[in-house]
């Protein structure tokens, strides 16, 4: 079944690339705005041989990785503390619900005002957007802890942090990994967006320069790179999730009778 799905996926991709090659050559779209696949592939090959491209890719990955690490760490710690400390979650619920819906792109003027086009501007946007993905999943995960297991741990005299380690964390881990996977994709989106709008060094900045200089094939080639990067990150996050939850029923495929 997997082999068949892979073949169908490859066939679909080949058809899409063929359509991208044929549409501008047949005059269905203007070649000036949508060049053939072969020209985009040639521009991509030129980018791969350019040292500046690899530097930009490194800048994007740096902003993504640092921002994601900060957001995951802060989201897990904040979520656990909010749930462990009595009444703290209720006291902060309105604040969380007020801040969470604010679009990260709305903070771009603030990021530019504070840090200009530095890496810290990218980190501000990435961390803010990714933090909520992790925090909300941690809160849901802690809420899903079996109260019987919690009371059993109390009856055995486990302290607060021992209960967090042995009861709360295993129960919340599937939710945490879902939050990390979502945050990884959101972090990449915000990193490229910040570079595109603010002009911070990275793939987004190169896309903006290619667009303003009418280098259309190069622009599409960089967009393809950003898409492939997102695919690799998503596959990597799913792989890490499966490995971290190898013991969990959802990964082992067991059915509770």
Mean pLDDT of 60-65: 95
Per-residue pLDDT at 168: 80
| % pLDDT > 70, the chain | 93
Three-state helix/strand/coil letters over the chain? CHHHHHHHHHHHHHHHHHHHHHHHHCCCCCCCCCCCHHHHHHHHHHHHCCHHHHHHHHHHHHHHHHHHHHHHHHHHHHHHHHHHCCCHHHHHHHHHHHHCCCCHHHHHHHHHHHHCCCHHHHHHHHHHHHHHHHHHHHHHHHHCCCHHHHHHHHHCCCCHHHHHHHHHHHHHHHHHHHHHHHHHHHHHHHHHHHHHHHCCCCHHHHHHHHHHCCCHHHHHHHHHHHHHHHHHHHHHHHHHHHHHCCCCHHHHCCCCC
| Res 256 pLDDT > 50 | no
| Res 186 pLDDT > 70 | yes
Per-residue pLDDT at 204: 93
Averaged pLDDT of the chain: 87
Per-residue pLDDT at 163: 76
**Could you tell me which residue, 151 or 209, shows the higher pLDDT?**
209
Per-residue pLDDT at 145: 78
Per-residue pLDDT at 31: 83
pTM: 0.86
Mean pLDDT of 71-95: 89
**Could you tell me which residue, 254 or 104, shows the higher pLDDT?**
104
């Amino acid at each position: 079944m997997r082999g068949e799905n892979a073949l169908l996926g490859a066939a679909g991709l080949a058809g899409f690339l063929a359509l991208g090659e044929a549409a501008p050559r047949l005059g269905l779209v203007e070649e000036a705005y949508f060049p053939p696949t072969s020209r985009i592939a040639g521009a991509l090959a030129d980018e791969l041989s350019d040292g500046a491209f690899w530097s930009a890719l490194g800048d994007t990955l740096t902003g993504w990785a640092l921002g994601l690490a900060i957001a995951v760490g802060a989201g897990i710690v904040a979520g656990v503390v909010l749930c462990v400390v009595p009444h703290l979650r209720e006291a902060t619920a309105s604040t969380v619900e007020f801040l969470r819906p604010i679009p990260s792109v709305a903070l771009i003027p603030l990021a530019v005002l504070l840090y200009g086009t530095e890496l810290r501007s990218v980190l501000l946007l990435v961390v803010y957007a990714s933090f909520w993905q992790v925090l909300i999943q941690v809160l849901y995960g802690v809420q899903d802890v079996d109260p019987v297991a919690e009371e059993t741990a109390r009856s055995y005299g486990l302290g607060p942090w021992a209960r967090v380690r042995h009861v709360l964390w295993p129960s919340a881990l599937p939710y945490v990994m879902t939050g990390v996977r979502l945050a990884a994709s959101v972090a990449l989106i915000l990193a490229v967006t910040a570079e595109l709008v603010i002009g911070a060094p990275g793939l987004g900045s190169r896309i903006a320069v290619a667009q303003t200089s009418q280098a259309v094939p190069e622009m599409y080639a960089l967009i393809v790179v950003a898409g492939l990067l997102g695919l690799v990150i998503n596959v990597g996050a799913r792989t890490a999730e499966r490995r971290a939850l190898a013991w969990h029923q959802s990964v082992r495929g067991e059915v509770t009778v």
